[in-house]
Chain A
Amino acid sequence: MIGRRRKPRGGANRRQAPPARLLHPRVYLLRHVQVALDSLGRLYRNPLPSLMTAAVIGIALALPTSLYLLLDNLHRLSGSWDGQASISVFLKDRVPAAQRDRLAAQLRDWQEIASVRVITPEQALQEYSARSGLGDALGALDKNPLPAVLVVVPRASQRGADPAAALQQKINALPAVDLAELDLAWVQRLNAMLEIARRGILLFSALLALAVLLVIGNTIRLEIQNRRDEIVVTKLLGATNPFVRRPFLYSGVWYGLLGALLAWLLVAGGFMLLAGPVATLAGLYQSDFMLHTLPVVTLAVLLGSGILLGLLGSWLAVGRHLSAIEPG
Chain B
Amino acid sequence: MIRFANVSKRYPGGFEALGNVSFHMEKGAMAFLTGHSGAGKSTLLKLIALIERASRGQIFLDGENVSDVHRRRIPYIRRKIGFIFQDHHLLHDRTVYDNVALPLVISGYRHQDIGRRVRAALDKLGLLSKERLYPVTLSGGEQQRVGIARAVVNKPTLLLADEPTGNLDPDLSREIMQLFGLFNEVGVSVLIATHDVDLIRSMDYPVLTLEHGHLAGAREEVA
Binding site for B on A (CB under 8 A): 1-12, 14-15, 18-19, 21-23, 27-28, 30-31, 229-230, 232-241, 243, 326-328
B159 to chain A, nearest CB (A): 12
Q: Please give, as numbers and ranges, the residues of chain B lying within 8 Å of A7 by CB-CB distance.
A: 28
CB < 8 Å A-B pair total: 109
Q: A15-B157, A238-B103 are in contact. Are A22 and B109 (CB under 8 A)?
A: yes
Instruction: Show 22 residue pairs from A and B whose CB-CB distance is below 8 angstroms, ordered by the A residue.
Output: A1-B24, A1-B220, A1-B221, A2-B26, A2-B29, A5-B184, A10-B187, A11-B186, A12-B187, A14-B155, A15-B188, A18-B155, A19-B113, A22-B110, A30-B111, A233-B102, A235-B75, A236-B49, A237-B78, A237-B106, A238-B77, A239-B75
Within 74-110 of B, Cβ neighbours of A (below 8 Å) are at 75-79, 83, 89, 91, 102-103, 106-110
B201 at the interface (CB under 8 A from A): no
Interface on chain A toward B: helix, strand, loop, or mixed SS? loop
CB pair B108–A236 under 8 Å, yes or no, is: no
Query: What residues of chain A lie closer than 8 Å to B54, measured between beta carbons?
Result: none
The contact size tier of chain B is: 35 or more
Q: Is the CB of B75 within 8 A of A328?
A: no
**Interchain CB contact under 8 A, A238 and B78:** yes
Contacts A21-B107, A328-B51 known; A2 to B184 CB distance under 8 Å? no
- B51 engages A326 (CB within 8 Å): yes
B70 touches A (CB below 8 Å): no
> Which of B23, B186, B223 has most A Cβ within 10 Å?
B186
Q: Given contacts A2-B25, A8-B186, A233-B89, is CB(A22)–CB(B108) below 8 Å?
A: yes
Contacts of A1 in B (CB 8 A): 24, 26, 220-223
- Which residue of A2, A9, A18, A27 contacts B222 across the interface (Cβ within 8 Å)? A2
> Does A8 lie within 8 Å of B187, measured CB to CB?
yes
| Given contacts A2-B31, A6-B185, A328 and B52 within 8 Å (CB-CB) | yes
A327 touching B186, Cβ below 8 Å: no
The residues of B that contact A21 with a CB separation of less than 8 Å are 107-108
User: B109 to chain A: which residues have CB within 8 Å?
Assistant: 19, 22
> Judging by beta carbons under 8 Å apart, are B28 and A230 in contact?
no
Cβ proximity bits B184-195 to A, threshold 8 Å, 1 near / 0 not: 111110000000
B24 touches A2 (CB 8 A): yes
Contacts of B91 in A (CB 8 A): 229-230, 233
Nearest CB in chain A: distance from B42 CB, A = 10
Chain A residues lying within 8 Å of B23, measured Cβ to Cβ, are 2
Chain B residues lying within 8 Å of A11, measured Cβ to Cβ, are 186-187
| CB–CB B26/A234 < 8 A | no
Q: By the criterion CB–CB under 8 Å, are A328 and B46 in contact?
A: yes
CA of A241 to CA of B75, assembled, Å: 9
Chain B, Cβ-Cβ closest to A16:
B157
Confirm or deny: B130 has a beta carbon within 8 angstroms of a beta carbon on chain A.
no
Distance, CA A167 to CA B109, complexed state (A) = 77
Whether B76 contacts A238 by the Cβ 8 Å rule is yes
5 tightest Cβ-Cβ pairs between the two chains A and B? A11-B186, A238-B79, A238-B78, A12-B187, A2-B25
Starting from the known contacts A1-B221, A3-B223, A5-B29, 10 additional A-B residue pairs (CB-CB under 8 Å) come to A2-B26, A4-B28, A8-B186, A233-B91, A234-B106, A237-B83, A240-B75, A326-B51, A327-B49, A328-B52
